[in-house]
């Protein structure tokens, strides 16, 4: 289901997922953005991997001088052009995170939040290598996934999406332990604090890992 977000869950369907979110989910989403905003400076050039229709880019563009977003979905990027039409410092590209067409050390900060490390279906080592290649020395790579403490709220949100036919029917027999499985083959996994620690150890990297808002696990790697 590598192309799920580019074919089934893109553009207005993706936006609808956020429109129907409960107050607690919206708190989680805002907390993620606020954490990222605290990590960037007004002079930074920032890249968001998996930008969708531009929900996060719009917030980043207010804080910093130049923002670039990539996504595999042409339809989502077309919606992003409309959604972001008043933001003049944003650039959009159709691109896969496992093969980035940017030169080395092109960005001060690269982000892949809201569980991008799992949702992209890209090998984590490949994602980190490509992301760090285009990150400047002393720049940051910011990753996030869901906290185990947020399981019940996350599952309720995915049930909402399924009931609106944004996702396939959820297979409750297979769903659990951080993974949400749909009968159409879609699987939403997570990356735990331990998973981040193991990944950093395998790649001989150092990063700061912390839980935010009892909803997100963030890993910030300084190159």
Cα dihedral sign, 81-116-141-19: positive
User: Can you state the percent helix, strand and coil of the chain, rounding each to 5?
Assistant: 40, 25, 35
Joined together, the tokens standing for residue 91 give: 């650039």
Joined together, the tokens standing for residue 108 give: 């001060």
Task: Please give the chain's pLDDT, 223 residues, in tens.
Answer: 455 554 566 789 999 999 999 999 999 999 999 999 999 999 999 999 999 999 999 999 999 999 999 999 999 999 999 999 999 999 999 999 999 999 999 999 999 999 999 999 999 999 999 999 999 999 999 999 999 999 999 999 999 999 999 999 999 999 999 999 999 989 999 999 999 999 999 999 999 999 999 999 999 999 9
Cα Rg, the chain, nearest whole Å: 16
Rounded to 10 deg, the angle between the 55-63 and 23-39 helix axes is 40
Domains of the chain with CATH codes: 4-148+191-222 (3.40.50.150)
Instruction: Report the 10 Å Cβ neighbour count for 72.
Output: 19
């Amino acid at each position: 289901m590598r192309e799920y977000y580019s074919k089934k869950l893109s553009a207005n369907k993706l936006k609808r997922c956020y429109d129907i979110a409960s107050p607690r989910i919206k708190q989680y989403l805002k907390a993620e953005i606020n954490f990222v905003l605290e990590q960037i400076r007004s002079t930074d050039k920032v890249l968001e991997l998996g930008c969708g229709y531009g929900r996060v880019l719009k917030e980043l563009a207010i804080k910093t001088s130049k923002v670039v977003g990539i996504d595999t979905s042409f339809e989502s990027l077309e919606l992003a052009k409309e959604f972001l039409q008043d933001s003049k410092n944003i650039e959009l590209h159709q691109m896969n995170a496992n093969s980035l067409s940017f030169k080395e050390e092109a960005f001060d900060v690269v982000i892949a939040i809201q569980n991008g490390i799992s949702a992209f279906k890209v090998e984590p080592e490949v994602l980190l290598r490509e992301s760090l290649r285009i990150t400047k020395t002393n720049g940051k790579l910011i990753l996030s996934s869901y906290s185990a403490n947020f399981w019940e709220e996350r599952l309720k949100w995915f049930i909402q999406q399924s009931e609106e036919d944004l996702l396939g029917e959820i297979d409750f027999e297979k769903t659990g332990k951080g993974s949400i499985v749909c009968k159409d083959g879609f699987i939403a996994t997570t990356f735990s604090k331990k998973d981040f620690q193991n990944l950093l150890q395998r790649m001989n990297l150092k990063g700061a890992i912390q839980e935010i808002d009892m909803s997100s696990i963030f890993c910030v790697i300084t190159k």
